[in-house]
Amino acid sequence: MTTNFKTVVESIKDLPPMPAVAVKVIELLNDPNVNYEKLGAVISSDPAVSARMLKVANSAFYSMKRQIKTLEHAIAIVGERTLRSLVLAASLEGMNKSYGLLEKLLWEDSIGCAIGCRILARKFASADPEEAFLAGLFRHLGKTVMNYSDPNAYRSLAEAAYSENISTTELEGRFFPYAHAVVGAAVLDKWNFSRFLVMSTLHHEDLQISLDDEERGEELLRLTATVNLAGHICRKLGIGQRQPDEELNLANCHGAKALGLNTDEVELALVDVEQVFKENRDYFIG
C-alpha cells in the first residue's frame, strides 16, 4: 500500500479530533508516577465518558462479579492496559454528531468486533487480548469518520448498499475518494497510534501483509486475521448489521484460514462470541 496517509487525511472535509479525554488518559498512562486519583479526575472531566466507562466496568466482560461504584475502583479492578481500551471505547461512542439508526449500527459493529477479537485472541492465543480489542474497535473507524465528515454521502452509500444488496465496501468508491480501511488507517496514523493498529485497520479485509517487509510480520498477520474473523462473525450473527448473513461460511474467510482454524473451531468460537455479546451488549450499547 503506497497511499500517502497525509494526503488521505487532507481529503477529509471535517476530520473528528481524537477525543480529549482519551488523549489525556493515554498521556497519563505513559507517566510511571501516575495514580488512580489523577486518572479518575481526568476521566470524570467528561461525564458522558465516565458514566459509560463505569457502566462497562460493571459488565461481566470486565468486572469480576463485584459492584464498581467509583472510577478509582474501576481503574484498580481492570488495570491500566484495559483502562486504555475502555476509555477509547467510551470516547469513540461519543464521536458521532448525531445518533440515529445508522450510527447505532456502526457503534454496535465496532463493539461487537472488539468483543469478538478479545474472545478470539484468548481462545486461540492469536494476539494480545487488549490489543485485539482495540484493533477490533478501530477496524471500521474509517466508516465512522466518513459518516462524521459527510453524513449525507455516507447515508446515501448505506442506502445504496441496502437497496442493491451489495456491501458498503464495494460501493465506497462511488461516494468517497478512499476506502474506509484507508481512511481509518490514515486517521489512526495521524492520532499516533501504533503501527500494528494502523496496519491491522488498513488490511483487516485483505490481510495483504508482507511478512518480509513488516517487523514482527507474523504477529501482525495473526492480529489482523483475528480482526478479520471477528468481523465475519459479526456479519453472520447480524451484530451491527441490518440482518444476519446466515449463509456466510466462516471457515472460508481469510482470517480463519490464516489462523489455521477448522470448521468446528470456528463454529465454537461463533457460539462463544454470540453468548458473551448478548450478556454484555446493554453495558456497551445504549
Q: What is the CATH number of the domain that holds 245?
A: 1.10.3210.10
Q: Which domain holds residue 161?
A: 99-286
Residue 6 forms part of a structural domain: no
Please tell me whether residues 68 and 151 are part of one structural domain. Answer: no
Q: Considering 95, 114, 130, which residue would you say is the last residue of a domain?
A: 95
Q: Considering 95, 130, 150, which residue would you say is the last residue of a domain?
A: 95
Q: What is the mean pLDDT of residues 9-28?
A: 88
Please tell me whether residues 176 and 78 are part of one structural domain. Answer: no
Q: Which pLDDT band, with edges at 50, 70 and 90, does 1 fall under?
A: very low
3-state secondary structure of 162: helix
Please tell me whether residues 282 and 221 are part of one structural domain. Answer: yes
The pLDDT value recorded for residue 115 is: 95
Residue 118 forms part of a structural domain: yes
Please tell me whether residues 64 and 156 are part of one structural domain. Answer: no
For the stretch 220-267, pLDDT in tens is: 999 999 999 999 999 999 999 989 999 999 999 999 999 999 999 999
Dihedral angle of Cα 132, 135, 136, 137, to the nearest 10 degrees = 120
Q: Which pLDDT band, with edges at 50, 70 and 90, does 64 fall under?
A: low
Q: Residue 164 is placed in which grid cell?
A: 442493491
Q: How many domains does the chain have?
A: 2
Please tell me whether residues 147 and 257 are part of one structural domain. Answer: yes
Q: Residue 188 and residue 184: Cα distance in Å, rounded? A: 6
Please tell me whether residues 199 and 248 are part of one structural domain. Answer: yes
Q: Residue 150 is placed in which grid cell?
A: 459527510
The pLDDT value recorded for residue 2 is: 55
Q: Residue 146 and residue 62: Cα distance in Å, rounded? A: 31
Q: Residue 103 and residue 236: Cα distance in Å, rounded? A: 20
Please tell me whether residues 131 and 112 are part of one structural domain. Answer: yes
Residue 198 forms part of a structural domain: yes
Please tell me whether residues 79 and 218 are part of one structural domain. Answer: no
Please tell me whether residues 27 and 107 are part of one structural domain. Answer: no
3-state secondary structure string across 258-285: HCCCCHHHHHHHHHHHHHHHHHHHHHHC
- As a whole number, the mean pLDDT across the chain is 90
Please tell me whether residues 73 and 118 are part of one structural domain. Answer: no
209: which residues sit within 8 A by CB, 6+ positions away?
199, 203, 217, 220, 221, 224
The 8-class DSSP code of residue 79 comes to: -
Please tell me whether residues 53 and 79 are part of one structural domain. Answer: yes
Please tell me whether residues 136 and 272 are part of one structural domain. Answer: yes
Q: Considering 95, 118, 136, which residue would you say is the last residue of a domain?
A: 95
